[in-house]
């Protein structure tokens, strides 16, 4: 019988993505209900040192695949190693963060092992011994509760920032199992020519706890400075609506919404954003939404928890000053 809850560890250059800790905590909770073990799947080159941290966050076992060909993520290499491991060990559940990498890997692996995969889940519960996943559909305008009743493992990608990571337990150990990496040259067809990372002191949008976002009301690219100032006081990321991106004020990579990124921060501050359904699709799972807009009829106020009807060019700098005082106190 399939047994074991597996968590894929997403890391880039030895930095573990936050969603990994969220999954380890969720996996731990699940394991305590089902009496199974939690295993972390750590792939890369020179990453063995991360094993201790994974143990502290709840892994009982680390499957460690160390190989130069896993130094950079490629679908071909990672999906082969992971699917072979699944076939050999037969886990019951495999959870992967719903990131660009996670989505790319999970779908390929699910097909390799011929099982079901539930994507971009925002909730998870055990019901009559069956793992039920909750996922938004139609851009968050509805949700579906879904199961994979007959095939194992149950696979799911989980949206970052929706599950709360537990505190790590210092010294909690985990057994490290080395995974032999068997890759033929013909397995590896993708060649990464170049990786271009934007240098930013701010957190990545999909991982940020707080996002300060600007839309059409920003009026021009030069005005994003006032959002950046607020973001920096709060340790936040900066986002944008489609209107701002399509106007060429800010690159596409900052766009939140249906044709942009999906985010679930603790706090989303929408400045000069009307709140179209397209935008809401990308941020409606935020825990707290603040809207600053001069139009009291703007749809954003229908989803906001707090709102200020006013001129963002007046309100945002004042808010920055207030936050600065608060952070200093």
Question: Based on CB atoms, which residue is closest to another protein, 37 or 104?
Answer: 104
State the nearest-atom distance from the C-beta of 218 to another protein, in Å.
17
The answer to the question of residue 120 lying near another protein (CB under 8 A) is yes
Closest to 158 measured CA to CA, from 110, 210, 123, 203: 123
| Cα–Cα separations (whole angstroms), residue 198 to 46, 125, 202, 253 | 24, 37, 11, 10
State the nearest-atom distance from the C-beta of 111 to another protein, in Å.
4
Angle made by CA atoms 306, 209, 166, in degrees to the nearest 5: 120
- Which stretch, 40-48, 112-120, 173-181, 217-225, contacts another protein (CB under 8 A)? 112-120
- How far apart CA 164 and CA 21 sit, in angstroms, is 9
The answer to the question of residue 15 lying near another protein (CB under 8 A) is no
Do the beta carbons of residue 242 and residue 283 sit within 8 Å? no
- How far apart CA 22 and CA 280 sit, in angstroms, is 24
The answer to the question of residue 65 lying near another protein (CB under 8 A) is no
Residues 294-323 that bind another protein (CB under 8 A): 301-311, 314-315, 318-319, 321-323
The answer to the question of residue 182 lying near another protein (CB under 8 A) is no
Burial class (CB in 10 A: 0-12, 13-18, 19+), 298: buried
Residues 191-230 that bind another protein (CB under 8 A): 191-198, 200, 204-207, 210
Site string for another protein, 240-279 (x = CB under 8 A): ------------xx-x--xxx-----xx---------xx-
State the nearest-atom distance from the C-beta of 95 to another protein, in Å.
15
The answer to the question of residue 110 lying near another protein (CB under 8 A) is yes
Q: Which of 86, 118, 163, 244 binds another protein (CB under 8 A)?
A: 118
- What crossing angle do the helices spanning 224-234 and 312-328 adopt, rounded to 10°? 20
Q: Which of 95, 208, 234, 256 binds another protein (CB under 8 A)?
A: 234
Question: Based on CB atoms, which residue is closest to another protein, 138 or 221?
Answer: 138
Q: Which of 27, 55, 136, 215 binds another protein (CB under 8 A)?
A: 136
Question: Based on CB atoms, which residue is closest to another protein, 28 or 108?
Answer: 108
Give the CB-side neighbour count of residue 33, counting CA atoms within 13 A: 14
Site string for another protein, 78-97 (x = CB under 8 A): -x------------------
- How far apart CA 17 and CA 5 sit, in angstroms, is 19
- What crossing angle do the helices spanning 100-112 and 75-89 adopt, rounded to 10°? 50
Q: Which of 33, 111, 169, 182 binds another protein (CB under 8 A)?
A: 111
The answer to the question of residue 126 lying near another protein (CB under 8 A) is no
How many residues lie near another protein (CB under 8 A)? Answer: 92
Question: Based on CB atoms, which residue is closest to another protein, 193 or 225?
Answer: 193
Residues 143-162 that bind another protein (CB under 8 A): 143-151
Question: Based on CB atoms, which residue is closest to another protein, 117 or 158?
Answer: 117
Do the beta carbons of residue 176 and residue 65 sit within 8 Å? no
The answer to the question of residue 115 lying near another protein (CB under 8 A) is yes
State the nearest-atom distance from the C-beta of 178 to another protein, in Å.
27
Q: Give the burial string for 311-323 (b: 16+ CB within 10 Å, else e).
A: ebeebbeebbeee
- How far apart CA 97 and CA 221 sit, in angstroms, is 33
The 3-state secondary structure of 5-34 reads EEEECCEECCEECHHHHHHHHHHHHHHHHH
**Tokens 């290499």 — which residue?**
77
Closest to 206 measured CA to CA, from 17, 44, 2: 17
């Amino acid at each position: 019988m399939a047994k074991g809850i597996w968590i894929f560890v997403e890391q880039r250059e030895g930095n573990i993505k936050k969603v990994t800790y969220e999954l380890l905590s969720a996996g731990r909770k699940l394991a305590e209900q089902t009496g199974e073990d939690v295993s972390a799947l750590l792939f890369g080159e020179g990453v063995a040192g991360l094993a201790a941290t994974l143990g502290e966050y709840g892994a009982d076992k680390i499957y460690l695949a160390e190989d130069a060909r896993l130094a950079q993520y490629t679908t071909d290499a990672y999906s082969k190693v992971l699917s072979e491991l699944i076939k050999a060990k037969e886990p019951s559940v495999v959870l992967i963060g719903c990131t660009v990498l996670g989505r790319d890997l999970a779908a390929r692996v699910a097909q390799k092992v011929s099982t079901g995969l539930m994507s971009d889940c925002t909730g998870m519960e055990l019901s009559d011994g069956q793992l039920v996943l909750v996922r938004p559909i139609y851009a968050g305008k509805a949700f579906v509760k879904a199961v994979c009743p007959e095939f194992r493992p149950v696979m799911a990608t989980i949206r970052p920032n929706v599950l709360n990571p537990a505190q790590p337990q210092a010294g909690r150990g985990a057994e490290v199992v080395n995974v032999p990496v068997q890759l033929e040259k013909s397995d590896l067809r993708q060649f990464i020519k170049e990786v271009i990372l934007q240098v930013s002191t701010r957190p990545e949008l999909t991982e940020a706890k707080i996002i300060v976002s600007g839309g059409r009301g920003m009026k021009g690219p030069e005005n994003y400075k006032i959002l950046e100032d607020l973001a920096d006081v709060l340790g936040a990321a900066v986002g944008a609506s489609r209107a701002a991106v399509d106007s060429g004020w800010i690159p596409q990579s900052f766009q939140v919404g249906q044709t942009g990124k999906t985010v679930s921060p603790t706090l989303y501050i929408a400045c000069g954003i009307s709140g179209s359904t397209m935008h809401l699709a990308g941020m409606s799972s935020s825990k707290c939404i603040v809207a600053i807009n001069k139009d009291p009829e703007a749809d954003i106020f229908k989803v906001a928890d707090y709102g200020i009807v006013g001129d963002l060019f007046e309100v945002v700098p004042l808010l920055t000053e207030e936050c600065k005082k608060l952070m200093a106190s």
